[in-house]
A = this chain, B = another copy of it.
Amino acid sequence: MINIKDIAKLAGVSYSTVSKALNGSSLVKPATKSKILEIAEKYGYQKNLLATQLVSGRSRLVGFVVDNVRNPIFAHMANDLHLELQNHDYHMLLAISPDGVELLNQLRVEGIIIWGDLIHSDPDFLKRFHDLNVPGFILGTDEVLRIPHILIDRKACIHEAVRYLIAHGHRKIGFVGGSQEIKVNAFREAISEMGLETSEDWLIPADSTWEGGYRVIRDYAFHKESPTAFIGLNNLITKGVLRALLERGFSVPADISLVGYDNLPELKNAEVPLTTVGPSLEEMVSKSVSLLQTLIERPGNALPVVLKPALVERASVGPRR
């Protein structure tokens, strides 16, 4: 692969001149510049970002670390973040692993966005990240941290879902999923705050996967005291729940209502278009990019960001039967 020294030789100038020409400096004579540019083009010169970055310290590179790109919500975020960062003249590199944090840091990206779930991948993940001392933040946490983050008010989201179901006349509400304490607790709290009936049977633990949601509802012992509405912990569980409900002959929402967590557009294509709560994805993306920019350009000036609930009404919630 050709480098500026090779080009310099070819053009009969010094390599520093080549560097300037390639960067469009006005310090080099137009004729020389175009000659250099021509040679660079001809030989397919590709600058070595490593060297550039090493000396200049800038790369316009941003890392996004997730631990599984197969969850559609991750994939969605990755795609939209990429687009938005591109608008801001940043390139996004995606790493699929908690170790991506160290990797991207070693690559000296200018900033790192970390998908909140990673916090749980390793008890001292936060410390690891904090010690790196690199501009970046956790996208999607439940609690206030000592490092920059975007807080999703999941508690408020769940409350919103409960409120919405109540407004539709529901009194017996179930919750499917168990992995995220905050959501489960928020659910419990909302139920008791709003003075609803409750039963431990209505809090149904499930793996955070399609199968998780599907199985528990497929096997659930329905009777006349069972919930008339469910809330699903995330998009996967919710889709599994919906399937199981339909398979068991319930009509949604005529017999049973369902609201899912995660505002994923494609949930409109579920068997029954799903009504969902969760932060607005657009807001997550735009807030992420501006927070990152602040972090990079004026470190120390990063304000905490909180994402409020958004509810998108589709067709999976109806009046209590």
Contact = CB atoms under 8 A, between A and B. Distances in A.
Interface in A205-249: 210-211, 214, 239-240, 243
Interface string A54-98: 100000000000001110100110110010001000011111110
Contacts of A254: none
B54 A50 contact: yes
Contact of A103 (B48, B70, B91): B91
Contact of A93 (B53, B94, B133, B266): B94
- For chain A, which range describes its interface: under 10, 10 to 19, 20 to 34, or 35 or more residues? 35 or more
Interface in A106-157: 106-108, 131-133
Contacts of A54: 48, 50-51, 54
A316 to B, nearest CB: 15
How many copies the complex holds: the figure is: 2
A297 interface: no
A53 B51 CA distance: 9
Contact of A94 (B53, B69, B269): B69
B105 A46 contact: yes
A243 to B, nearest CB: 7
Interface of A: 1, 44, 46-51, 53-54, 68-70, 72, 75-76, 78-79, 82, 86, 91-97, 99, 102-103, 105-108, 131-133, 210-211, 214, 239-240, 243, 266, 269, 271
Given A48-B54, A210-B269, 9 more contacts: A46-B105, A46-B106, A51-B54, A72-B72, A75-B75, A92-B95, A92-B96, A94-B94, A94-B95
